[in-house]
Amino acid sequence: MNTFKLTVSSPDGNKFEGDAIKLDVRGTEGELAIMAGHIPFVTSLVKAPVTILLEDDTEKKAYADGGLLTVGTDSVTLLSGSFEFEE
């Protein structure tokens, strides 16, 4: 599967930087699944769980306290006031 560069940042610094197959988040208009080749856009996020699917088919689950998602042609950036991975 194709991957894209994903950066997740909060005021505490970068929480994730690497390649992802899919990013599941909740925007203000509903659920979003971002994959490689997605059309570029920007949206605000609500407080909700986040799932990152990695190249080895593992999932990293986290919680974002809202934020901003920017999808570019070859990279995705998620900015959140608070972002914590599940243990």
Strand partners, 2: none
Q: Which two tokens mark 25? A: 């988040």
Taking the whole predicted model, whether its pTM rises above 0.75 is answered as yes
Strand partners, 51: 24, 61
Rg of the chain over all Cα atoms, to the nearest angstrom: 12
Taking only the tens place, the pLDDT of each residue in 7-27 is 999 999 999 999 999 999 999
Domains of the chain in start order, with CATH, are: 4-85 (2.60.15.10)
42 within 8 A of 28, measured Cβ to Cβ: no
**pLDDT at res. 6:** 98
Q: Which two tokens mark 44? A: 């605000």
19 within 8 A of 55, measured Cβ to Cβ: yes
